[in-house]
Structure formats: structure tokens, C-alpha cells
Amino acid sequence: MELLIGQMFAGLSLGSVLLLAALGLSLTFGQMGVINMAHGEFMMAGAYTAFVVQQAISDAGASLLVSIPAGFLVGGVLGLVLEAVLLRRMYHRPLDTLLVTFGVALILQQAARDIFGAPSVDVRAPAWLQGNIELLGAPIPLTRLFILGLSLLCLAGLVLLLKATPLGRRIRAVVLNRDLAETSGVSTRRSDQLTFFIGSGLAGIAGVAVTLIGSTSPYLGTNYIVDAFLVVVAGGIGQIKGAVIAAFALGVLQSVFEYSTTASIGKVLILIVIVVFLQLRPQGIFSLITRSLA
Amino acid sequence: MKTLLRGPVGTAAGFTLGAVLLLGVAPAILPAFNLGLLGKFLCFAIVAVGIGLAWGRGGMLTLGQGVFFGLGAYIMAMHMKLADASLFGGSGVPDFMSLYGSGEVPGWWEPFRSPAVTLLAVVLVPGLVALVLGLAIFKRRVKGAYFAILSQALAAAFAVFLIGQQATTGGSNGLNGFRSFFGFDLKDPNNKLMLYMIAAVVLLLSLAVARELMHSRFGELLVAVRDQEERVRFLGYDPATVKTVIYVVAAVLAGVAGALFVPLVGIISPADVGVIPSIAFLIGVAIGGRATLLGPVVGAVCVAAAQSGLSSTFPSFWVYFQGLLFVLVIGFMPGGLASLPALVRRRREVPRGAQPPVPDPPAPGPVKPDPDVPNPAAHGRATAPEEVSR
């Protein structure tokens, strides 16, 4: 029983990390069709932000609380710059954005290596997040609980923003029908910029979060990017609720597979599950009902 | 648009010149070490021919070619390890298995003891994997972006899988330390020359196949699927079949390239097959001109040469350079270098009457490049020989 609960929680916690990483992607990919391979590197930037903030503020608790908004800003600004310099010209070539942003990802990775060095650095978790709590006899690490809470908080914030604010309405309008939104007076240009800022900012927060469960290296982004994309694909493009279900489903599946086989075979099994799933629902769990043929 | 060097005569001339350069001039003037390097670049060029077909012509962004390359390479490497173990070890068990594994050869290695099975598997295994994946994805009309991401995930999973199976695949060290290739000693310079020759011949053959494909009705259909998939479907063709076929062709080419890579380079490891190498294959193709016949080959060889020249001396500079290449070429010159002559020619050409707003009904033979298409595809005719010799 304890083992089962431990496993389930490991899955949930992996799912929450995936969700944090995929939320921003779901937004940028869904709104603009831009496949941002540098999203993982924005996470890395967030993680290094946490590291730098901790150098300045030695108290681990305070530095964590400062890092979260700081990480959001760093990620968001990187996203804004990327959008303004490159992606703005490439909205009619969505597949090529993948390769361009991959180039950006390479540059950011190397920059991190040159600035912080190739060896990984550690960010100390605050004292109130060290240790475990008992849940039905199974030890649950507090850091993972914190990440679960943080990702749910980000999710709630994003859903509120999209559902309950004028800005969110504009973003949803652009997702559903860009041309009609533009003719109705929505500035798609501004909506694109904001979407990119928020989506990349969420990557920054995700980066801060993962410093609690592992060390930070220039390759941090590459560990998450493929899985985050798979979450978006399985969930359905531009579908927040799809991303939520897919993230937790993949997280639980992966911990189950890893427990019953090995990590390496688990990865392959996950991929097979997704391909089979796309046979049933080629558009992902949820898909926007549109009249387009593609 | 017509120059003397187009059509069958020009193609034959270009092809002959390429053959003379690769098979005659290069072995004569290059020292053995550089010839081996060139052989390695030619392997990448073979992969690039396939990517040019699938991506440049078919519009499928395949980010998993490393998987097929790796399948071909690992199959060949497994055979060579087994053969070495029988020839030199006597025990028939590859050396690393005694170190990390149980000292027993796992069952799925056994078929690769036979040279014939190996040669077949090098072609069939990548082809079958691509067939299954292609049918699964294209038949259900999964979006192009999804395909790209799935193929990338495949590369990631493949690399993770290889690293995890330390005892049976050599883990992150990969397979290396080969001594013989189908009974030929790999240290012998003559055999090295032979390997290079094989790679060059395979490259020329794959170019010939690619050219035939491009100029066939199938090739026209492929471009049509790239540009207007729905229209092709409404005309009664099945785009999924077209895409799957070309995906399989690209996979087979990558597998064969991988199988040649192993004896030429002497090592295959997960570092050669994961996400990053898979995407790196694309940049050469993009630089040369993704939709042309020779562009991908020239681009791939140039990038590989630049990489081997720069990455050892200035490793950090090389990564920046590679990143910049992606940004600049894909972002600002999607047609690659091959689009330069076309742009210049379009400037120079005196327009023969006003262009009709509606495109001409497609005449048999090569289609006119459409200036409105953002991806200016030069249409796979042989390029002038000076471009080959670069």
C-alpha cells in the first residue's frame, strides 16, 4: 500500500513538472503554431535565475520566493525578444520555426556553458521544504508537494487569465480565428507578444521549480523539452485541459513503466502509447472543432 | 530558363564529373586520413539525400533520421563485433559483454552473425520501422507539426534506450574497437580505400535513385502533397501513401549510411543518433537547398567538414556557429544556397510577355517554380558542374 501511494505520488509529481513545462508550450504552440524548441532553454534560464538570486540572497526561503517572479520575468523577456527578432517573420512557416528556435536553443545552451561553466550547480532548498510528510504511511517529499502546488497555482492563474480577463478573451479569439479576430479589432500583434511573454515566463517558473528536485546544468532544458512537447501533442494543441490530463497521465504512466521495467524501456513504451493513442484521436485528447481541413 | 546543362545530357555530364571527382581525383590527391574523413562526410551526404527527398520535396520535417542511421549502424556494428569475436577471440562473445554483461550473447544479437542477414537487415529494419511509423502517423492524418515532434521523441527514446542497455549495446560508450569488416582487415590501407570507394558509389547510386524519383510522376505527386495536400486528396490520390513511401526511402538511405559509417569511422555510440545529431543532419540540407538534388549533398559535406575542422579547435565557437546557421539559413534563406542562382537568373531574365495570373496547366516535364511559394524549389535538375566540384 505504501509502495503504491509512493509510486502514484511520484507519477503525480513527475506530471506536475511536465505540466509546468508544457503549460507555456501549449499556449505558444496553440496560439501561434510556433514550435518553440528553445522553451527548454527558457526553463534553463529560469533555473539559473534561481541560482543567481540565491547568490545574492543567501536565505533559501526568501530567495525561492524572489526567484519565482524573477524567473518568470527572465523567461518572458527572452520569449519577447525571440518573438520580436525571429518568429514575427515566420508565422507562415510553422515547421521552420522549430529549426530556427533549435538554433536559438543551441546558442543559449552554449552561452550558459560559457557563463556558468559546464558542471552543474545546485540551488539549496529552503529549510521548510526539507524532509517528508507521511501520507498513509508513505513518505512524500515536501519539495515535490511544493512543485505540485506551484504547478496547480500556475494552471489556475493561466485559466483565470484566459477565461476571465479581456486579454484572455482576445487570446482565445486569436486561437480560434486569427483573421476574424484581427478584423474585429483585436491586435493580433500585441496578443502574440503577450502570449509569448506569458508562455515563456511559465517556462521560467518551471525552471525555478526544477531546481528544487535536481541540479542545474546547461543541458537542463533538453531533459524536459521532448516530454513537454509530447504532453502538448497528446493533449491537443492549444487545449489547456488536454495538457493537464496528458501531463498527469504521462507522469503516472512513466513512473509505472519505470517501476515495472527500466527507465530506458519505459521511455520507448511511453512513445508507443502516444502513437497508439494518436491512432484513436489524431488531434489529441481535445481538439478545437474548426472547419479547416488541416 | 533553359541552359545547355539541363536535361539528360547535362545530368549525365554532371553525374560523370561527380563520379570522376569522388572515385578518381579524391583518392589520388587526398592522404589516407583525409580520405577516411571524406568517407565519413559522404555517409552524412547519403542521409542528406534522403532528407532532401522527404523534407525538401515532401515537406515532412523528419527529426528522427538519427534513429534509422543508428539502426543501420548498430546492426552493422553488432555483426562486426560478433565476427571479430569469432575471428580473434575464439569465444564468439564480444569483449564488452564479458566486461559489463553476463558474458553470454543475447538472443537478439544472434541473427547478425550471418553476413547475409546483416546486409538485409541494414536495409529492411530501418525501412520497416519507418513503414510502421509512417502508416501510423500519415494514415490517420496526424498534423505535420505532430509528426516532427513524434519523430524527435523517437530519436530521444532511441538514445535513452541504447544508453540504458549497457550490457547489450555498450551503453553510452557505444560499440567500437572493430578489427575486421567481412573478413577484411580494417588496418590495411587498401581496405580503407575500398570502404571509401563503396561509400562514394553508394552516394552516387542514391543520387541516381533520388533523381529518378524526382523526375517521375511520383516525384511530381510528392511536391504536390507538400504544397497542397488536400487538393491532392480531392484529386483521388492518397497523400498518406506518397508520404509513407518517401519516408521509407529516406529511412533506408539513412540506414545504409549508418552501416557504412561504422567501418569507416570505427565507432557508433548514442551520441551519433540522438536528438541533436538528428537535427544536425538537417542543417546541411537546408544550407545546400532542401528541395534540390545536389544541394543537400554539397551542404552536408560542407557542414561536416566545417564541423570536423572547427569543433575540435574551437568547440564553443562551433556551437554558436551551428546555432547561427540554423537561425540565419532557415530564417532568412529557406531555399538555401541553391536559391541564389535562381534569384540572380530571375533578375537577369527578360520576361517573355506578362506572366498570366493563373498558372499554366502543368505541361509534362519539370514544373515552373512558383515565385509565390515561400520555399523556392529548384527542380532537381542537374546543377552546373562547377557547383558539383565545390
Chain B, 342-371: which have a CB under 8 Å from a chain A CB? none
pLDDT at B88: 78
Taking the CA of residue B143 and the nearest CA in chain A, the distance in Å comes to: 7
- Closest partner residue to A106 (CB to CB) among B137, B144, B322 is B322
A234 interaction partners in chain B (CB closer than 8 Å): none
Residue-level pLDDT at A247: 93
Predicted confidence at residue B378, as pLDDT, reads 40
Alpha-carbon span B266 to B263, nearest angstrom: 5
pLDDT at B90: 66
The alpha carbon of residue A284 is apart from the nearest alpha carbon of chain B, in Å, by: 9
Instruction: Please list, in sequence order, all residues whose beta carbon lies within 8 angstroms of the beta carbon of residue B281, skipping any fewer than 6 positions away.
Output: B44, B47, B48, B51, B65, B66, B69, B300
- Here the cell at position A192 is 502574440
Shortest CA gap B130–chain A (Å): 13
Q: Do A293 and B230 touch (CB under 8 A)?
A: yes
The residues in B 129-188 lying below 8 A from A, measured between CB atoms, are: 133, 136-137, 140-146, 148-150, 152-154, 156-158, 160-165
Instruction: List, as one string, the DSSP characters of chain A.
Output: -HHHHHHHHHHHHHHHHHHHHHHHHHHHHHHH----TTHHHHHHHHHHHHHHHHHH---HHHHHHHHHHHHHHHHHHHHHHHHHHTGGGGTT-HHHHHHHHHHHHHHHHHHHHHHH-SS-B--PPPGGGSSEEEETTEEEEHHHHHHHHHHHHHHHHHHHHHHHSHHHHHHHHHHH-HHHHHHTT--HHHHHHHHHHHHHHHHHHHHHHHTTTS-B-TTHHHHHHHHHHHHHHHH-TT-HHHHHHHHHHHHHHHHHHHHHS-HHHHHHHHHHHHHHHHHH-TT-SS----S---
Q: What are phi and psi of B146, to 5 degrees?
A: -60, -40
**Of the candidate ranges A118-122, A196-200, B75-79, the one whose mean pLDDT is the lowest:** A118-122
- Yes or no: say if B178 and B77 are a contact pair by the CB < 8 Å rule: yes
Q: Is the dihedral of CA B315, B320, B325, B326 positive or negative?
A: positive
Cα Rg of chain A (Å, integer): 19
Query: To which H or E segment does residue B242 belong?
Result: helix B239-265
Share of chain A above pLDDT 90, in %: 44
Note the pLDDT of residue B390.
33
* Chain B (295-324) residues lying within 8 Å, Cβ to Cβ, of chain A: 316, 319-320, 322-324
Give the CA angle between residues A213, A219, A225 to the nearest 5°. Answer: 80
For chain B, residues with pLDDT lower than 50 are 1-5, 352-390
Distance from the B313 Cα atom to the nearest Cα atom in chain A, whole angstroms: 16
What average pLDDT score do residues A90-94 get? 84
Angstrom distance (rounded) from CA B96 to CA B261:
21
- CB B168, CB B97: distance < 8 Å: yes
* Inter-chain CB proximity A271 and B150 less than 8 Å: yes
Give the whole-angstrom CA distance, residue B380 versus residue B211.
7
Domain ranges of chain B: 12-269
Q: Do B322 and A264 touch (CB under 8 A)?
A: no
Chain B residues near residue A242 by CB distance under 8 angstroms? none
Q: Model's pTM, two decimal places?
A: 0.86
- pLDDT band of residue A113 (cuts 50, 70, 90) is very high
The predicted pLDDT at position B31 comes to: 83
Chain B 66-125, residues with CB within 8 Å of chain A CB atoms: none
Q: Are B294 and B288 in contact (CB under 8 A)?
A: yes
> Which residues share a beta bridge with B268?
B175
Beta-carbon separation of B136 and A233 below 8 A:
no
Return the pLDDT at A58.
82
* SS3 label, residue B185: strand
Count of CA atoms in the C-beta half-sphere (13 A) of B349: 14
Helices B115-138 + A263-280 axis angle, to 10: 40
Please name the residue of chain A whose CA is at the shortest distance from the CA of residue B148.
Answer: A95
Q: Do B145 and A95 touch (CB under 8 A)?
A: yes
What confidence tens digit (pLDDT) does each residue in A26-85 have? 888 877 778 899 999 999 999 999 999 999 888 888 899 999 999 999 999 999 999 999
Nearest to B282 among A29, A99, A232 (CB): A99
Residue B267's H or E segment, with its range, is strand B267-268
Q: Quick one: pLDDT at residue A93? A: 86
Q: A290 pLDDT exceeds 80?
A: no
With cell 562473445, the residue in question is B93
Cβ-in-10-Å burial (0-12, 13-18, 19+) of A166 comes to exposed
Query: What CA–CA distance (Å, rounded) separates A147 from A151?
Result: 6
Nearest chain A residue to B132 by CA distance is A275
Q: What is the DSSP string of B115-184?
A: HHHHHHHHHHHHHHHHHHHHHHHHTTT--HHHHHHHHHHHHHHHHHHHHH-HHHH-GGG-EE---EETTE
